[in-house]
Amino acid sequence: MSVLVNNDTKLLVQGMGKTGSFHTDRAIAYGTNVVGAVHPSKAGQTARFEGETDHSGVQGRADTYSVDVPIFRTVKEAVEATGANATVVYVPPPFAADAIMEAGDAGVPLIITITEGIPVADMVLAKRYLEDKDVRLVGPNCPGVITPQQCKIGIMPGYIHTPGKIGVVSRSGTLTYEAVHQLTLNGLGQTTAIGIGGDPVNGTNFVDALALFNDDPETEGVIMIGEIGGTAEEEAADWIKSHMTKPVAGFIAGTSAPPGKRMGHAGAIISGGQGTAEAKIEALRAAGVVMAPTPTDMGSAMLSALAG
């Protein structure tokens, strides 16, 4: 099985600019079912995507693809016309929160936001807006979600992913790719990889993703990748200790980060003595998580966790 996305996912794209168009093409090449796009100034037009199929994606397809994606004025119109059950947001930062809320208002069950640099105040407003709606937000500032050989939504390289038995959840895009690559090389593969993003205000968190994987019968273990800043990893450690029934391996980035200096992500900052890598590592170890000392040890840590 998988979580969040699979062969039944019907994807809508919000923001068909240069970045959105490029990654839409890569998603279609992988085998993702892109059913429509939203771009008010291009409504009524179609965007054609064609090229060579990415054979690391869904197997048994033709060597080439040619797909016409209809463009709609609003998300509501697109959902009514296509039955889209997921959307990906590539809209520029000043307008991205509005795009998220529009998707929520249209009732799209899964909203994956790739956009980086959305103002925190905008995200606070968007998150509050979604609270009473039956939708799930992933991101912002995340690489996306992929179920190998079924569906790729976001900016991750598809070819490093292989179907398998390990769930991946990470705040870091680059470290997600590294963990996935190591899992593939170790013959473990992935059920689904979820990039939750590194912004201080986001949607799906570690606990949400861990719960999804814990309930998935084909996920046999989870690798969790965190970083300095905030308390999300400590909260995940508490949840793992009380609820997780599957082995978990982990890595925390930022052991050498100086206090008060933001490291990469907007949420990656040690403030007031909180959010240190050491505190997060200690909490996760106390919860039974096998911690990798360096990024190159993530695959072997997962093997150790599975071995008990």
Domain ranges in the chain? Answer: 10-138, 162-307
Domain 162-307 sits in CATH at 3.40.50.261
Architecture of domain 10-138: 3-Layer(aba) Sandwich (3.40)
Strands (E), the chain: 10-14, 33-38, 46-52, 64-72, 86-89, 110-113, 136-138, 144-147, 151-154, 163-170, 190-195, 221-227, 248-253, 290-291
Q: Where do runs of H (alpha helix) occur along 83-141?
A: 93-105, 120-130
Q: Lowest-confidence range among 81-90, 121-130, 250-259?
A: 250-259
pLDDT of residue 61 exceeding 80, the answer is no
Mean pLDDT of 31-41: 96
Percent pLDDT > 90 in the chain is 85
Average pLDDT value for the chain: 93
Number of H helices, E strands in the chain: 9, 14
Has 265 been annotated as catalytic? yes
User: What is the structure's pLDDT at 230?
Assistant: 86
Of 51-55, 233-237, 277-281, highest mean pLDDT: 233-237
Percent pLDDT > 70 in the chain is 91
Per-residue confidence band for 276, with pLDDT thresholds at 50, 70 and 90: confident
User: What is the structure's pLDDT at 257?
Assistant: 60
Q: From residue 9, how far is each of 85, 146, 185, 187, 255 by CA, in Å?
A: 6, 11, 28, 26, 38
Determine the Cα–Cα distance for residues 269 and 70; give it in Å rounded to an integer: 42
User: What is the structure's pLDDT at 116?
Assistant: 95
Same fold: 10-138 with 162-307 = yes
User: What is the structure's pLDDT at 15?
Assistant: 95
Residue 127 neighbours by CB distance under 10 Å: 17
Per-residue confidence band for 275, with pLDDT thresholds at 50, 70 and 90: confident
Per-residue confidence band for 255, with pLDDT thresholds at 50, 70 and 90: confident
Strands (E), 179-261: 190-195, 221-227, 248-253
pLDDT of residue 260 exceeding 70, the answer is no
pLDDT of residue 176 exceeding 90, the answer is yes
Q: Which of 23, 39, 161, 265 is catalytic?
A: 265
More confident residue, 258 or 241: 241
Q: pTM higher than 0.85, yes or no?
A: yes
